[in-house]
């Protein structure tokens, strides 16, 4: 997998502007901050991000993939301000679970998520080399 960034652009922090990859694609459905038993253990955004990322890693593991294979992530949050106020802690959780594997990312504030208690949903695409 190769990060793609125009040379005259500022280097992004915590994400890649683009990723080039070849191999078997793994699509992880949007993961929210509940456990595999569909139970919320926290209403804290950082805690829900932790759980959503752990869920993502569990799905990837079942596909024989790891954080190094993540090419793209789309994050949906219901409160942009809460996300921005927690960005340092979220970054720490991300590095703890995903490491320094920075995918092409988008973050979008949405009006709501399907589950009432959900504060974040993360979709992931990984590419495992042939």
* pLDDT tens digits, one per residue of 59-100: 999 999 999 999 999 999 999 999 999 999 999 999 999 999
Residue 22 has pLDDT above 90, yes or no: yes
Please tell me the distance from the alpha carbon of residue 98 to that of residue 81, in angstroms, as a whole number.
Answer: 23
Name the residue ranges covered by the structural domains of the chain: 21-128
Alpha-carbon distance 70 to 52, whole Å?
Answer: 15
Fold of 21-128: 60s Ribosomal Protein L30; Chain: A; (3.30.1330)
What is the tens place of the pLDDT at every residue in 104-129?
999 999 999 999 999 999 999 999 99
* Paired tokens of 120: 């974040």
Helical residues (DSSP H) of 32-114, grouped into ranges: 45-62, 80-85, 87-97
> pLDDT value at position 17?
87
């Amino acid at each position: 997998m190769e990060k793609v960034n125009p040379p005259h652009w500022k280097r992004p922090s915590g994400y890649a502007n683009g990723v080039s990859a070849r191999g078997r694609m793994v699509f992880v459905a949007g993961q929210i901050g509940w456990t595999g038993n569909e139970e919320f253990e926290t209403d804290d955004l950082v805690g829900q991000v932790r759980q959503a990322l752990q869920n993502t890693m569990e799905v990837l593991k079942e596909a024989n993939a790891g954080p190094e294979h993540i090419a793209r992530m789309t994050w949906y949050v219901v409160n942009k301000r809460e996300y921005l106020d927690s960005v340092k802690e979220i970054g720490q959780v991300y590095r703890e679970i995903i490491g320094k594997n920075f995918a092409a990312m988008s973050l979008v504030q949405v009006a709501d998520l399907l589950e009432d208690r959900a504060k974040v949903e993360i979709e992931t695409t990984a590419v495992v080399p042939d």
